[in-house]
Amino acid sequence: MSGPDDARAANDRGPAGARRRGQASLNRAELLQALADAETDQLTGARARAAGLADLEHEIERARATRRLLTLAYVDVVGLKAVNDTLGHGAGDALLARTAAAIRGHLRTYDLIVRHGGDEFLCVLSGATLRQARKRFSAIRTDLAADPEPCQIKIGFAELGPHDSAPELIARADAQLPISRGRDHGTSRAPAELPMGGGPPDPRGPSSPGGARNAMDPDPVAQTARQRVLIADDDPVVQSALRASLAVDFEVVGVAGDSEQAIDLAAVSQPDAAIVDVDMPGGGLAAVRGILKVSPATAIVVLSSDELSGVVRELLLAGATAYCRKGVAPQVLAEWLARSIQARAAERAAQTPVHA
């Protein structure tokens, strides 16, 4: 005799059971799709913030477990608010979508891209060095600049340290983000009347008139605004000391650990001056030449452990304005930075044609 269980089993095997199973599968598919939608930023296709930050935690755990490198890029889309205000939010959305597409086009399929804020993205490159990450983003920036509707991005990089948490890694990348300056909103400079020619500044301080090149008037130079300085040195101790000592009189717009990063930061921040270590990775000469190519008005003060060596002379001939010995008193370095900025401005003014 057939019981209730047999009847239900037969019913499950029939058309009604098939409909129920189909509906259950549909409900599961819809649930999974809804979950995927919630974890994806619909405008850019990047991971949404909450899901992306959880993914970053997993990537950090995996990097530590496998002893692999991990580099985080903090990307800021420049000018989004201005686009929204002048052209409308539709244009701003299109700008974000183009930026995300350019990033995705140059990163690997398994690299994590997170929409971190309104105009900010986090990109996690597993197994990549800082140099490799910078190279990829240099290509991204070039593509965006060549777009029919050009876009500019700022990027800060941080490599995972042995004790970094996800928030600490993000904060370090954020701290490396260059500070943009629009070309129409530059720092005002006092009139420059500093003579060019002669020799580099005395490495012990601004008391010597110099010898072969770039002697500068030792009279104090008044600044009308806080000048913007880029620090390019690979020694973390020197970086911290320079940042702390210069923050009193200058605005530090970025700190670079090698010549390539120094050039990238200079291109975005257009600093009034840059301090360049002669022996930094990539070469001080490459840094001086590259910085002046992307930011011609920048005055460059070279730091060297030696007296006026052949390498220092080569950097001065390449366009550096002055040099100082490493370990020089902070007030001396600050004074030479101010003088170098004035000297560079005078040099640029002399090169500018005067039209009647």
Encode pLDDT of 21-38 as tens digits. 555 555 655 555 555 556
Contacts of 22-29 with C-beta under 8 Å, sequence gap 24+, read none
The pair of structure tokens assigned to 267 is 């291109």
Banded pLDDT at 219 (limits 50, 70, 90): very low
Encode pLDDT of 133-185 as tens digits. 999 999 998 888 888 888 889 999 999 998 899 999 999 999 888 764 333 33
Query: Can you list the domains of the chain with their CATH numbers?
Result: 49-175 (3.30.70.270), 183-351 (3.40.50.2300)
Q: For position 120, what pLDDT does the model report? A: 94
Encode pLDDT of 223-269 as tens digits. 446 789 999 988 888 888 888 888 888 888 888 888 888 998 888 88
Q: For position 354, what pLDDT does the model report? A: 47
Q: For position 187, what pLDDT does the model report? A: 31
Q: For position 99, what pLDDT does the model report? A: 94
Distance CA 316, CA 248 (A): 27
Encode pLDDT of 53-84 as tens digits. 999 999 999 999 989 999 999 999 988 888 88
Banded pLDDT at 323 (limits 50, 70, 90): confident
What percentage of the chain carries pLDDT values higher than 70? 73
Q: For position 347, what pLDDT does the model report? A: 77
Banded pLDDT at 217 (limits 50, 70, 90): very low
